[in-house]
Structure 1
């Protein structure tokens, strides 16, 4: 597919309401922000959710995992649905489903009710998110205008996690934990009202759903994510853990076999034939795996070790949003000149440095030295990467395949985050248990009678022993997180190439025959 043929495929008059591209972009970005931040907005509220609905500690992890697993598993289907049924129609369906699920979750009285709502949120997000990215490709022509739009979209995607933590802290402390879900309702309703006013329907492409491909890809990714989550709780030798990985391998191999023979595949395998696009998917998966874990464990550290309130914990993450936006702006400005590779290399290297610094964290670390400093380096690196990865993944893709391409990119981010968090949780659990065994003798010698009585009931060491256990576990968890960023760096260095056609496409100057 050449850049010129992509331009011929696009019909700007049918893809946007003339004169209001800024409003259209605001609507699309608002959807993405709502979907992305919901992966983290509940994190700070988890202790309050546990107390209110009587979750066990193990079951509480599913408040996060139920959303990310469903979201990641269904993204490919959501992208394909937009291609066939019309992107605006599918976009609105996802938004309304997500909004309804948020309302149900806010009224939950039992653990299963909240988990069911989180699953439904994941389904709605999986339908809306890839379609929102694809709508940009039909609303803005390739070149500087689309680069700016993707810059906004990527900044929202990258900063959504930090914004979710801040919003979660404010809503939990000022109102109630239920508002981390209720807040989506007015936003979702407003998006649903504005969408038909400012975003035109895309051209519908004839075809059928690749049901077999959709089922095997969704089930395979869900099984893979579940296997890692299960391993975090029950170990690698658990029969269900092993069974999940075996099922994932069988299902994903079946998916590849089906797609190679399907006339209208949900994910055209030729997308992976492009060297840069394949490298982009690997980098996205690796960095997302590191990013999700970073947010999760630093939240634990600032609240449980530094003693921050929910809103203080949320504010502690505000600087990372600023540097992500700064990095996104710089990459968007110079990407047409330098191409994607320099930003991927520098961004991944900075992410690895930040995570390596955080691996030095201890119970004596301060906010500035143990959290803020490394988080700023990490965040700036992620800002450089997200715009670059987004543009590279969809550049040169035909309009009728844009939904599948964006769905695959989003799937890499969500599934990567889910897998990464599960891996880090496994490392955290092992390291913290080992440290607890070392701390118990000193606790039994120096702890007060009241502390010993509480320990006998909860099996949880109090401060300062508990702080040492938590910090040691977090420190160990950041080692594989840094390794994931190094993998992204190696991929950027060895796989990504700077091509003249990419520079021309990014600058909007590609002529006929460029591809």
Structure 2
């Protein structure tokens, strides 16, 4: 069987010839890739909505409930860099199929769970296979589309899925939990995975090995550091910043990540080559992913709390309320990739998108105990969706721009790592801010036992304080990322010379 390589290759000085022949089935491949990535993005918010029902069914405590989320985050965040390089090593088709089958199997076990331990184990396995699937999906996208115009359309569609998956997850999770059972929030992944596996086996051709090697010391240091950082921030969200299991683990994680960075500068085959992250555009894209990961929790977490706890919305009503934001995000990501990126590059999209996010969250600070959806929520969430569409349009495409085929997986993993690390930081930081603001409000406004109405006002004050902090985070991010990113369009991809014919034994294996 013949092989192909549709990857944008190295860059200047690569001895470029011309772009590889486009796969005639590339648009069908795009559907398969987007389906797989949608499954991952849906799973985060879908499972959050299913947690209360799962807790009632399996009889675990509130303290244990956090581990259903943390187990997934720990394995996902700590294994991303390793799995991104593994995809480059074993082949992207193989990694993609393994990730899909493994994620589906873990979802089936999770849905059938009859104990807390079984559910947590399944969630950890989901995170591990998601760590393989997420960067592989993005690197497949980057290596399948080489024509600049088609690349813009493909990344526009993928960006729409990535940016709107969380909101769609709220809708689907609410519908499944209300209409069927919390278990279907896990079982639904089997439908996505079955479609994607069938498509992958039918449409994806095996790509030549990239020549990548596994950096074992880098894996140990990088994965260990990410594990400690994600665990430390997750522990801070559920316990205290003063606990040894928070600051001590964070300190160890920081030391390991510093050691990882130093090792990457001297390793013969680094896990995360400095050439990938030190490029200004790609570095700016990774920083953008980190900032978005932190600030997103200002909307998808506290806004949901507000709608369901304070306004009395059901889970499915909350999901429907965010549909306009999802629609705007999808349109903006496509416009950004197809219209703006080829002319202006990522800088105006990232800086403008972050400023729009800041504006939307500043607008949300006007919420009150009796706010109406049309007057207080619709406008700011649509502004936020517009900003997210622009950001994802630029960040995902820029983060994989100009890398060699052997680095496509690890470059994709760096984007997902930024999002995961940002999410862990955001969960801990914003939960702490909200709790402190609520406590401070009660201590300064209430001098006896607080009434239900006063607690209600204090809670909303906590939400609005978080929204102001997220406003500042996005505004500062707009300045910093705008300064890092280069002006003008991304350089046109260069293409490596055609690979030499494979030896007979290798041809037989392919």
Once the two structures are superposed, residues 169-222 of structure 1 have per-residue CA deviations (whole angstroms, 9 ceiling, x without a partner) of: 110111111111110012212211221210112211234311211121112112
Q: CA deviation at 1:442?
A: 6.0
Distance change in 2, residues 1:141/1:268 (3 Å): same
Cα distance in 1 for residues equivalent to 2:61 and 2:438: 19
Contact kept in structure 1, 2:212 and 2:406, CA below 8 Å: no
- Corresponding residue for residue 312 of structure 1: 317
Shift of 1:3: 5.8
**TM value normalised by structure 1:** 0.89
1:70-104 deviation digits (Å, cap 9, x = unpaired): 21221111110111110000111111111011111
Name which of structure 1's ranges 4-13 and 372-381 shifts more when overlaid on structure 2: 4-13
- The structure 2 residue matched to 1:220, chosen from 206, 216, 225, is 225
Q: Deviations over 1:436-475 (max 9, x none)?
A: 556876656xx6xxxxxxxxxxxxxxx5444323312222
Of 17, 23, 27, the match for 1:22: 27
Distance verdict in 2 for CA 1:137–1:511, change over 3 Å: closer
Contact 1:95–1:192 (Cα < 8 Å) also in 2: yes
Is the contact between residue 308 and residue 315 of structure 2 (CA under 8 Å) also seen in structure 1?
yes
Q: Structure 2 vs 1, CA of residues 417 and 257 (structure 1 numbering), >3 Å: closer, same or farther?
A: same
- Work out the CA distance in 2 between the residues paired with 1:116 and 1:293: 29
Contact 1:49 1:177 in 2 (8 A): yes
Aligned to 1:381: 387
Instruction: Say whether 1:190 aligns with 2:195.
Output: yes
User: Take 1:256 and 1:391, find their aligned partners in 2: how far apart are those partners?
Assistant: 24
**Partners of 1:3 and 1:134 in 2: how far apart?**
20
Q: In the TM superposition, what is the alpha-carbon distance from 1:272 to its structure 2 partner?
A: 2.3
Equivalences for residues 92-111 of structure 1 within 5 A: 92-111=97-116
Q: Which residue of 2 aligns with 1:129?
A: 134
Q: How does 1:114-513 map to 2 (within 5 A)?
A: 114-332=119-337, 333-436=339-442, 463-499=452-488, 502=490, 504-505=491-492
Structure 2: any 5+ residue segments left out of the alignment? 1-9, 497-510
CA–CA distance in structure 2, aligned partners of residues 209 and 98 of structure 1: 23
Q: How high is the TM-score relative to the length of structure 2?
A: 0.90
Q: Is the 8 A contact 2:45 2:169 kept in 1?
A: yes
The answer to whether the 8 Å contact 1:69/1:418 transfers is no
Measured in 1, the distance between the counterparts of 2:470 and 2:63 equals: 22
1:302 deviation in Å? 0.9
Q: Quick one: distance in 2 between partners of 1:355 and 1:9?
A: 46
State the match for 1:35 in structure 2. 40
1:109: Cα distance to partner?
2.0
Q: CA deviation at 1:481?
A: 1.8
- Matches of 1:438 and 1:117, distance apart in 2: 45
Q: 2:472, 2:135 → 1: CA distance?
A: 28
Moved more, 133-142 or 169-178: 133-142
The alignment of Structure 1 onto Structure 2 pairs a total of residues equal to: 487
The 3-state SS of whatever aligns with 1:486 is helix
- Partners of 1:478 and 1:28 lie apart in 2 by 34
Equivalent pair of 1:443/1:465 in contact (CA under 8 Å): no
Aligned to 1:453: none
Structure 1, residues 21-63: CA drift from partner, whole Å, max 9, x if none?
1111100110100011111112222322232223333332332
**Residues 233 and 511 (structure 1), Cα distance of their counterparts in 2 relative to 1, 3 Å cut:** closer
Q: How many angstroms apart in 2 are the aligned matches of 1:307 and 1:440?
A: 25
